[in-house]
Amino acid sequence: MVSGGAEARNNGGIRLRSALLALLLSLLSGGCAMIGPDFQRPQAPVAEHWATSLDKADGGSVATPIRADEEQVSQWWKAFNDPLLDSLIEEAYRQNLDLQMAGLRILEARARLGIATGNLYPQQQSLNAGFGAVGISENAANSAAADLNYTDGSVGFDAAWELDFWGKFRRGVQATDANMNAAVAAYDSYLVTLTAEVARTYILVRTLEERISVAQANVAIQRRSLRISEARFKGGLVTELDVQQARNLLANTQAVIPAFKASLRQAKNSLAVLLGKPPQQIDRILGSGGDIPVPPVEVAVGMPAELLRRRPDVRQAELQAKAQSALVGVAKADLYPHFTLLGSVGLRASDSALSATGGSNIGDVFEGNSLEYFAGPAVSWDIFNYGRIKNQVRMQDARLQQLLINYQNTVLRAAQDVEDALAGLVNDRQRLVYLRQAEKAAQRSVDLALLQYREGLVDFQRVLDALRYLSSAQDKLSAIRGDESISMVRVYKALGGGWQLRRGQPFVASETAAAMEERTDWGDLLKQQNRIEPSVETARQ
């Protein structure tokens, strides 16, 4: 029969356990809202239309038609109708080493997300086992009745779980998820740069090849004029001055060619690095020469607001701010109490002759009466922190504000990039018209000057001037043809075209993934790379 006092104690214990159970269920249910701000995309100034007119440049006669074609933006290099350029961009996408590193940073960020997600569950879980021999001094305090020499063995499991009552760990998941998506945006941003740089460098190579060819053609013309002047000098019709002036012009034109060849070699070397190849292989890939790629007449620019959706660097800036917003919540959670569940269960036995059961043996460790355990909640609160936690919150909030402003600045600079590129394209096309007219007139001037010089109607200075104008006009024409094509590349780079090339493709090549799996257990992560694919609206959530 249970006494009244014992019954009261039992009822009190039941009520205490019930209250603790209710508290734990409340904590586990996450009934409290997450601390910290919920991210909202900041407003950024976006114009309704472009400032640069694509109709006709002031005083000009060239118009640039506009087409709203997303496919043309995503694979803009195909508009040049140059199969070699297409293959170079494809090879750079497969082989460029900087892009491969950007893909590996995505896997690193995905692994970090797995770490953050794991913090939602018991943070400490460990199996342990131990065996030891104990010897106690006979002269130690309270050792008279003790078992001074024994062996001890134990097997157990310990766990500690800080509950996510204030949303600290959920905010951590939000931050790492946003950072992972920002890593994808960084990959896309580099891919935009890579495709544009391959096209720009390839166009530069072809432009330099043509400028060398033009210079060599002018050398041939100037040699002919030198021979004419030498013949007239030998015939006593002119002085040696004509001959020396002709040689001076020829030598100066010849001196341009080595400079062009050095620039050509450097451009080819740069292209080789972009393709992930040694420079020795690039000549075989490019062949003996080719025409400067001709840009399309039309340009697909769309509207300024579309930059927010298409430009990866804009998405990256927004996602970085989103990640930082969650970190403000992580810091704020430290201002509040921490609730933790602690537990330990195990088996222990010793070969002591003084145990409560009249003696035990270490072999009894797996007997039922060797069970020992501890379980219960714990609360801790970081008070008297001398403002350290509050200032940590302030620091995170200041970083958030920096990133919000950085997002707005990124949007403005994206618009500036497009405006600058459009202005360059429009005016390069107008310059091209004028330089074609100048080159045609210069060519006619040379023909007339040489004819009149042979007949003695003009002095040699007229011939020299005509040859200089022709050489300059032809070189400028070749250069502006390359500039026009490069300006078109800059337009599409500014519009954020090119990253779409990797849609449906893994971020890490199969050969690299196989090498990584051979040395490390990656689970299904390497096989599921295509699923690390934030939608266009990821950053809008």
Residue 333 reports pLDDT greater than 60: yes
Rounded to the nearest angstrom, the gap between the alpha carbon of residue 306 and the centroid of all alpha carbons in its chain is 20
In this predicted structure, the answer to whether residue 218 has a pLDDT above a threshold of 90 is yes
Report whether pLDDT(386) > 60: yes
Question: What's the pLDDT score for residue 532?
Answer: 64
Q: 3-state DSSP helix/strand/coil percent for the chain, to nearest 5?
A: 65, 10, 25
| Token duo for residue 517 | 């799996």
Q: Which of 118-132, 196-210, 310-324 has the lowest mean pLDDT?
A: 118-132
At residue 2, does pLDDT exceed 50?
A: no
Kindly state the greatest CA–CA separation across the chain. 147
**Residues above pLDDT 70, as percent of the chain:** 85
Reported as a pLDDT band with limits 50, 70 and 90, residue 403 is very high
Above 70 in pLDDT, residue 19? no
Give the pLDDT of residue 320: 96
Residue 239 is predicted with a pLDDT of 86
Model pTM score: 0.85
Per-residue pLDDT, 353 = 60
Residue 535 scores a pLDDT above 60: no
Mean pLDDT for 339-353 is 83
Assign 109 a pLDDT band (cuts: 50, 70, 90).
very high
Tell me which range, 28-32, 251-255, 418-422, is most confidently predicted by mean pLDDT. 251-255
Of 225 and 9, more confident: 225
User: Does position 36 have pLDDT exceeding 50, yes or no?
Assistant: yes
Please tell me which of 10-14, 135-139, 185-189, 454-458 the model is most confident about, judged by mean pLDDT. Answer: 185-189
The pLDDT-based confidence of 212 (bands split at 50, 70, 90) is: very high
- What tokens does 139 get? 């002269």
- Is 42 buried (19+), middle (13-18) or exposed (0-12) by CB count in 10 A? middle
pLDDT reading at 198 higher than 90: yes
The predicted pLDDT at position 53 comes to 63
362: which residues sit within 8 A by CB, 6+ positions away? 131, 151, 152, 153, 349, 350, 351
Contact by Cβ (8 Å): 539, 186: no
pLDDT band at 80 (very low <50, low <70, confident <90, very high): very high
Which residues, including other chains, have CB under 8 Å from residue 141's CB and lie 6 or more apart?
none
Residue 1 confidence (pLDDT): 40
The residues with which 152 forms a beta bridge, in sequence order, are: 132, 350
Residue 57 has pLDDT above 60, yes or no: no
Ramachandran assignment for 400, one of left (phi > 0), alpha (psi -120 to 50 degrees), beta (any other): alpha
pLDDT at res. 527? 77
Percentage above 90 pLDDT, the chain: 48
- Helix, strand, or coil here: 63? strand
Most confident listed range (6-10, 29-33, 381-385): 381-385
* Strand residues in 271-397 grouped as ranges (E): 338-350, 371-380
Q: What is the mean pLDDT of residues 114-124?
A: 89
Assess whether pLDDT exceeds 70 at residue 60. Answer: no
22 contacts: CB under 8 Å, gap ≥ 6: none
Mean of pLDDT over the chain = 84
Helix (H, G, I), strand (E, B) or coil at 480: helix
Residue 538: the pLDDT is: 40
* Rounded distance between C-alpha atoms, residue 418 and residue 354, angstroms: 87
What pLDDT does residue 9 have?
42
Alpha helices in 66-96 (DSSP H): 70-74, 83-95
**Phi, psi at 383, each rounded to 5°:** -100, 170
Least confident of 83-97, 233-247, 349-363, 493-507: 349-363
pLDDT of residue 354: 58
Q: Residue 139: which pLDDT band, with cuts at 50, 70 and 90? A: confident
pLDDT score of 471:
92
Eight-state DSSP code of residue 499: G
